[in-house]
Amino acid sequence: MGLVEGIEMKTERIPKRRLTAAWKTLSNEPMPKVTALRVSDDDFNHVLHHRHCVEDDFRELEEWGRVLSTKGTDACVFNGEEGDADYIILVRENPYHSLDEIIVHELSHIARGDL
């Protein structure tokens, strides 16, 4: 169990070595402190609904050309507000893309400074 956005939920930590390998494909800079967690689809949708903001809509329009439903969203990344992580990546339990693709995509937001 872990605490995400003030809500206790079952989490599975994605190994740091996997994150580090993906980061090295994106940047020569040192990797910030990133925690990546896999959560149930229901918990993932709950967090997305709780965190929804207009900035997310603008980013999705720029990135995908439309506002995405949470049904089609594999993961999200946000600034770490709790614990010792600079960023937190949440991945749904049953994503539509491979975990490696998802990690690279979400880390690319951090590397570009999108947050």
Q: What is the pLDDT of residues 30-45, one digit of tens each?
A: 999 999 999 999 999 8
Q: Give the separation between CA 5 and CA 11, rounded to whole angstroms.
A: 13
pLDDT digits (tens, 9 = 90+) for 60-88: 788 888 877 767 789 989 888 766 899 99
The pLDDT, as a whole number, for residue 87 is 93
Per-residue pLDDT at 11 exceeds 70:
yes
Q: What's the Cα-to-Cα distance from 88 to each of 11, 23, 61, 66, 102, rounded to whole Å?
A: 12, 14, 22, 24, 13
Q: What is the mean pLDDT of the chain?
A: 87
**Amino acid residing at 92:** R
- Report helix, strand or coil for 77: strand
